[in-house]
Chains A and B, each alone.
Chain A
Amino acid sequence: MNFKKISIAILILGSIAAIVAYNIYNKPHVNVSEVSVDIAITAVKIFNDFTADENAANHTYLEKITEVTGVISNIKIEKEKGIVALQTNDDFGNVLAHLSVDATKEISALKEGQTITLKGICTGYLMDVILVKCEIIN
């Protein structure tokens, strides 16, 4: 009897542990369209922050859900993914927003010169400030 009880207990605990482990292993990616914004900022300001002090800006923005507002300077589609460039005060650098698959479907509605708000995840600064998985907010 005792042996039976213990084995049942072990079996239950084991299954719980397995379910927990499985869920952690299959933890979903952050859904940008559903999570709340960490930082809302203009394209000009975020670019200036990165050029002024990249380390500090990395600390502030990396992996944050960032909402960026700016004027579209370029729109293109590469490998079926839309890329929207937002103007900054710098001649060479932009804020480059790489759109999600869903947002890419709405890319034809966008025009150069238009002001737009995008929400994405900031991954850092090369020549441009890079945002990935962007959704069009406005």
Chain B
Amino acid sequence: MKTIITIICYFLFLTASISQERYLTKSGTINFYSKSQIEDITADNNQVLSIVDATSGKMAISILIKSFMFKKALMQEHFNENYLESDRFPKATFQGNILNFDTLKDTAIKLKVKGVLTIHDISKEKTIEANFTRTKEAILVEGNFMVILEEFNVEIPAVVAKNIAKQIKVTFNFNHTPYKK
């Protein structure tokens, strides 16, 4: 947990002395979608913190697991208590470098972000493709990718194995605005 804070602080304070070009959102959205024969499960998180350093092209994202809201309270309870164990691991994070960030101008382009995704205390290298749009006032990043539950040691009991997909589709949308104190 300390490292996450350190990394966020690093982005906020250390880069401050070099450049003012930081973009941030505190209300980014992440949705996940599990499709199975029996039921489709979806949950939304509207409190995602995402920071883009427009000088270095670095990106840092921090997610509170308990901020995922489900339609059914029971699903939310199982997700937090049994699968993601959010009492022990309250956050998921992604830190990475936006490849070819300098090619980002005012039109929308697809860029790859290479970094480390940490969920359930397991860290995996991951390259995620996203749509980037840069305007005067904002950097918009959106896209989706698949998360394989097994890779992050998320165990689904046999009884409900048919209700939950092995791969979860994660959709994200971050509208970063310039960070002012």
A residues in contact (CB < 8 Å) with B = 24-30, 54-55, 58, 62-63, 78-79, 81, 83, 91-92, 96, 98, 123-124, 126-128, 130, 132
Contacts and interface: CB of A to CB of B under 8 A. Distances in A.
B91 to A, nearest CB: 7
Contacts of A124: 64, 66-67, 90-91
Contacts of B26: 96, 126-128
Contacts of A123: 47, 64, 66-67
B46 A28 contact: no
Q: Which 4 A-B pairs have the closest CB atoms?
A: A123-B66, A126-B49, A124-B64, A123-B67
A130 B66 CA distance: 10
Contacts of B76: 29
B12 interface: yes
B67 to A, nearest CB: 4
A54 B66 contact: no
B47 A130 contact: yes
A103 B66 CA distance: 21
Nearest to B51: A127
B79 to A, nearest CB: 12
A130 B90 contact: no
Given A54-B5, A123-B66, A128-B26, 6 more contacts: A62-B66, A62-B86, A79-B27, A79-B46, A96-B26, A132-B47
Interface of B (DSSP majority class): mixed
B128 interface: no
Interface of B: 1, 5, 8, 12, 26-27, 29, 46-47, 49, 62, 64, 66-67, 69, 72-74, 76, 80, 86-87, 90-91, 181
A92 B9 CA distance: 10
Contacts of A78: 27, 46
Contact of A62 (B1, B12, B47, B90): B90
A98 B91 contact: no
Given A124-B90, A127-B49, A132-B47, A25 B74 contact: yes
A128 B62 CA distance: 11
A69 B83 CA distance: 34
18 contacts: A24-B74, A25-B74, A29-B76, A63-B66, A78-B46, A79-B27, A79-B46, A123-B66, A123-B67, A124-B67, A126-B8, A126-B26, A126-B62, A126-B64, A126-B91, A127-B12, A130-B47, A132-B67
A33 to B, nearest CB: 16
